Structure 1
Amino acid sequence: MNPYPAALSYGRLLDPAQRPDPYPVFAELSREPVQRIDEHVWAVSGHADISRLLRDPRLSVQEPAVFGPDTPLGSDGEPFRGPFLRQDPPHHDTLRARTMHQFVPRILGLRPKIEAMVTELLDGLDGAGELDVVSALAYPLPVAVICELLGVPRSEEPVFHDFAARLTRALDPQESFTEEELADVAKTREDWRAYLTPMIVRRLAEPGDDLVSGLLADGDPAKRMTMLELATTLGLLLIAGHETTVNLIANGTLALLRDPAALARLRADPGLAPAVVEEVLRYDPPVQLTSRLTTAEVRIGDTTVPEGDHVLLLLAAGNRDPRRFADPDRFWPERPDNRHLAFGGGVHYCLGAALARMEGEAVLTAIATQLAAPRLVADPPPYRPNTILRGPAELRVAIG
C-alpha cells in the first residue's frame, strides 16, 4: 500500500475515465501546496509556486540517461538527448534560437491565410445540420498550417495527422503505458525519422522557402542541426503546432457552447476573441501538467524537495488557484489580469504559443459568427485517453 494519500488522487488523474472532468481530482491534489506522490515524486499545485519553479534553473527537463558507444552525437558534440523541449541550457537555448529564427518570421503573416482556411473548411460542410468540430475544424486546420510551414503538399496531411496523434501519446507519463504502448512509442519515433529523412535530403539538394529548408541553411554549417536533431525538432513542431491547438479549439468550442451568454458576447463583438482564447487557456488548458527533475535541493513553501526527485507541476490546478484567480471555476472571458500557466514559462515557454492563439481566435470567432444556432449534441463528449495533452476525441455540434 502506498503510504502517500495523494498517490490515490494522482492514480485517478491518470485514469482515462477522469478525462471528461479532471478538475475535481486536481482540486484534491491542491489541498496542500506540495504533496508527495511517492518516495521521489512531488506534486505542486499553486499558481505562484508553479510560475516560480518553471523559471528555476535547479529544475531540469532532462532525464538521467546512459549513453553507449553507438549513441549519436548532437550538433554540440555531446550525446543526443532528444528534442530540445527535453534539454537544459546551454544546448537547449542554441537549438531553440535556431528554430525560432526560422519559425517566427514565417508565422507573422499567417493570420489572413488561417482565416481563409477556416472559411474554406466551413464552406465544405455544404449546409450540413451537424458537424464534428474536432474532425471538421480542430484537426485539419493546424495540420494544414504546419504543412504550409514545412512545405508539405496537402496530399500528405493525413500522414501528418496520424503522426501527430502517435507522437503526442509519447508525452504521457510512462507509468500509464503498457509494454505494448512503450514499444509503439519507440516504433513511432523510428517511423517519423524514416518518413522525414527523404524529405530532408530533397531539401538539401533543392532548397525552397519553407521552414525545413531554412533550418538546413541557417547559420554556420559546422553548427547546424544534425539530421537526427532536425527530425526531432520537426516532430516537436508538429506536436506544438498541432495537438495543443486541436485541444484549444475543441475545449474553447465546448466552453462557449456550454455558456450561451459568452457565445452571444463573442458573436456581437468578435474583438473579444483574444480574451476568449486566453480564458480557455486558463479554464481548460490543452496541456494539463508538466514535470521537472531537481538538480539541487529546492525549497517549495514549507517543504524541502531533495536533489534528484521529480516535481509534477500541475498547470491545470494552478490555473484554478483561488489565491490567484477570483471564482476560478467560472468561465469568464472578460477576466482581468489573466496570466495563466497554459504555455508554461521560462526558457521552455511554448514555442507555438503565438500560432496557437491565431488559430484559436480564427476558429472560435467563426464558430460564433458563421454557424447558425450551434448547440452540443452530446455533453460531455468522448475524450482521447491522453493525460497531459487533454481534449475531446470528437465534439458533435448541431447547427441551424
Structure 2
Amino acid sequence: MADATLLSQIKDFSNRADPYPLYARLRQTPVSCQNDGGQIDGASGDKARGVWVAASHDAVMRLQNDPRLSVETQPPTKRPSTGNPVTDYLVNPVKNRITDSHQPFLFRDPPAHDLLRAATVHQFTPARVQAMRARSERLVSEMLDRKVGSHEIDIVADLAYPLPVAVICELFGVPEGDEANFHDWSSQLATAVEPGVVVSEETRIENARTFDAISDYLADLVAEKRRQPRDDLLSGLANHATPDGYRMGDLDLISTAILILVAGHETAVNLIGNAWLTLMRHPDELERLRAEPGRAPRVVEEVMRYDPPVQLVSRKTLSAIDIAGTTIPEGEAVVLMLAAGNRDPAAFPDPDRFDPDRVGTRHLGFGGGLHYCVGAPLGRFEAEAALTALARRLKAPRLIEDPPPYRRPATLRGPERLRVEIEEVR
C-alpha cells in the first residue's frame, strides 16, 4: 500500500523543486487513497474522506478516457462578503449562480463541454495557428534584442512570462495598451485551478475581484467584436457559428476566453521554463539543439514527458470504478497524476533520463481523451521558438541558481525565476 501522506507531501511547497521521488513512491500502488491534508476539491469537502490518486501510466490513461469520471469538480462560487446588504444578499448570489452555470469547458462534462470545445476548436484555424508560429518567432527575437549588452537574463521574466500573453492577446485582438492587465489577471487566476488546496481568505477575495475585473473587460471587448469584427479568435467566437449551427452566448464566450488566457499562458510559461532548465542541466542536448535547430520539436515533446507544465488534474467519480485491483466509490475526488505516469518504467524505458530521441512516446503532458489540450499546437510553437532562439543567441549560459525558486502551485509547476549568466546575447 502507498503511504497515505504522499499527496500531502507533493502539495508541500518544500518539495516543489523535485517531486519525482514522491511520484515514484506513489506508483508502487497504481491507484491509492490518499489523505490530502485539507479540503477535498470536487467531492463533498469532508476532511475525513480521502482523495484517490492514479499514478501509473496505464491507470491515468484508462481513467482520463472513462466517462464515469467528471471534470465538474469546482466548488460552488462564493464571493466574499462586502458588508453591503444589497451586494451580499442580492447581487453576489446572482453573480455566483451565473459563474457556476457558465464554467469554462475544461470544467464541464458533455454535452455542454462538447458544444463549447467544438466552437473553440473551429476558431483555432490552421491559418490562424500558423500565423502565431511566425509571430512567436518575431516576439522572441524582439525580447532577446532588449537584452543585448546584458550579462544576465531571467528566462521567466524576460521571455517565458511575456511571450505567451503577447501571443494570446494578439489572438484575441486585445488593444496593445491593455496587454499588461492580462499578465496580472492570468497569474492571479492560476491559483483557482489548484485542486485540494484551501485558499486563504485574502486569495479568495482577490480571485473574485480579478474574475469580475477580467469578465467586465471581456464583456466590453466582446461587444466591440460584435460591432466591428476583425480577423481574430474572439471575433470568430463572437460572430460565427460552428458547422452544426452552434454559437456561444456572451457568458460562455467570456468563460472560454478566460480559460484560454489562464491555461494558455500559465502552461506555456512553465513549459518554456522547465525546458530551458532541463537543457541547462543537460549541456550536451543544448549543444545539439544549437547545432540542429530542427531538433526543437523533439526537445519540446520530451520535456512534456520528462517535466510537464501541468503535473496533475482533478476529477470526480459519477459511479464506482474498478481499476488496478481496487474500487473507487461513487462521488469520490480523484487526482490523475500526469507527471507520475510520464515517468512510469512500465511505459518508458529508463524514464528518468531526458532523451529527445525517444520514439513511440505516449506522454500525458497535454492530457487526453475529451479534454486533450486545445492549445497544444500553439504551446509547442511558442516553446520551439523560445528554445531555438535561446540556444542560438545566448553565449556561454550558466545557471545562477540550481534549483531555482519555484512558483507555489503544485498543479501548474515551473520556476518562478530562472536566472542565467551569459557572456552576451548575440
Aligned match for 1:181, one of 183, 203, 206: 203
Look up the SS of the partner of 1:397 in the other structure. strand
Show CA shifts across 1:100-143 (max 9, x none).
Answer: 11123421332222111111111111221110000111011111
SS in structure 2 at match of 1:247: helix
Contact 1:288–1:314, Cα closer than 8 Å, also in 2: yes
Q: CA RMSD in A?
A: 2.3
Alpha-carbon spacing, 1:363–1:233, altered in 2? closer, same or farther (3 Å): same
Alpha-carbon distance in structure 1 between the residues aligned to 2:159 and 2:239: 34
Q: How much does 1:174 deviate? A: 4.2
Alignment CA distance shift 1:5-1:183 (3 Å): farther
Which amino acid in structure 1 is aligned with residue 270 of structure 2? N
Q: Aligned ranges for residues 72-91 of structure 1 at < 5 Å?
A: 80-91=101-112
- Aligned residues of 1:250 and 1:395 also touching (Cα < 8 A): yes
Q: 1:57 aligns with which of 41, 52, 67?
A: 67
Q: Is the 8 A contact 1:9 1:25 kept in 2?
A: yes
Contact in 1 for aligned 2:70/2:109 (Cα 8 Å): yes
TM-score by length of 1: 0.93
In 1: Cα distance, 2:75 partner to 2:159 partner: 40
Looking at structure 1, the residues matched to 25 and 208 of structure 2 have their Cα atoms a distance apart, in angstroms, of 34
In structure 1, the partner of 2:325 is 302
Q: Which runs of 5+ in 2 are unaligned?
A: 36-48, 78-89
Label 1:64 to 1:330 Cα distance change in 2 as closer, same or farther (>3 A): closer
Match of 1:15, as an amino acid? Answer: D
* Aligned partner of residue 420 in structure 2, secondary structure: strand
Query: How many Å separate the matches in 2 of 1:167 and 1:183?
Result: 11
What code does the residue aligned with 1:57 have? Answer: P
The corresponding residue for 2:194 is 172
The 5 A counterparts of 1:320-339 are 320-339=343-362
**Aligned partners of 1:6 and 1:36 also within 8 Å:** no
- Which of 13, 18, 23 is equivalent to 1:16? 13
Q: Distance in 2 between matches of 1:158 and 1:351?
A: 24
Q: Which sits farther off after the overlay, 178-187 or 199-208? A: 178-187
**3-state SS of the aligned residue for 1:110?**
helix
> Residues 72 and 397 (structure 1 numbering): CA distance in 2 closer, same or farther, change over 3 Å?
closer
Aligned partners of 1:240 and 1:350 also within 8 Å:
no
Instruction: State the Cα distance separating 1:81 from its structure 2 match.
Output: 4.2
- The structure-2 alpha-carbon separation of the partners of 1:332 and 1:65, relative to structure 1 and needing over 3 Å to count, comes to closer
CA distance in 2, matches of 1:363, 1:222: 38
Equivalent residue, structure 1, for 2:184: 162
387, 400, 416: which one aligns with 1:364: 387
The equivalent position to 1:196 in structure 2, one of 218, 231, 248, is 218
- Helix, strand or coil at the partner of 2:153: strand
Aligned to 1:98: 119
**Alpha-carbon distance, 1:301 to partner:** 1.3
Counterparts of residues 1-400 of structure 1 (less than 5 Å): 6-38=3-35, 39-63=49-73, 70=94, 80-105=101-126, 106-219=128-241, 223-400=246-423
Q: CA deviation at 1:70?
A: 4.2
Alpha-carbon displacement from aligned partner over 1:240-260 (angstroms, at most 9, x marks no partner): 221101000000000000111
Partner Cα distance (2:419, 2:76) in 1: 47
Distance 1:73 1:207, change over 3 A: farther
Give structure 1 stretches of 5+ with no counterpart. Answer: none
Q: Following the alignment from structure 1 to structure 2, what is the Cα–Cα distance between the partners of residues 174 and 5?
A: 19
Assess, with a 3 A threshold, how the Cα gap between structure 1 residues 129 and 300 changes in structure 2: closer, same or farther.
same
CA distance in 2, matches of 1:324, 1:190: 44
| Distance in 2 (alpha carbons) for counterparts of 1:45 and 1:118 | 36
- Distance in 1 of aligned mates of 2:348 and 2:149: 41
Give me the whole-angstrom Cα distance separating, in 2, the residues matched to 1:64 and 1:149.
Answer: 27
Instruction: Give 2:85's aligned residue.
Output: none
Displacement after TM superposition at 1:305 (Å): 0.9
The alpha carbon displacement at 1:188 in A equals: 2.1
Counting aligned pairs with the same residue, the percent is 50
TM (normalized to structure 2)? 0.88
Counterpart CA distance in 1 for 2:149 and 2:9 is 42
Say which is worse superposed, 214-223 or 270-279, in terms of deviation: 214-223
Structure 1 residue 183: Cα displacement: 2.8
1: CA distance, partners of 2:3 / 2:220: 48
Give the match's secondary structure for 2:131.
Answer: coil
Query: In 1, Cα distance between the equivalents of 2:198 and 2:303?
Result: 27
**1:56 shift after superposition:** 0.8
Decide which moves more: 193-202 or 375-384.
193-202
Question: Shift of residue 238 of structure 1?
Answer: 0.5
How far apart are 1:346 and its partner, in Å? 0.5
Change (3 A) 1:79 1:119: closer
Count how many residue pairs are aligned between Structure 1 and Structure 2.
394
Please tell me the residue identity of whatever aligns with 2:392: T
| d(CA) in 2 for partners of 1:65, 1:45 | 24
Name the SS of the counterpart of 1:308 in structure 2: coil
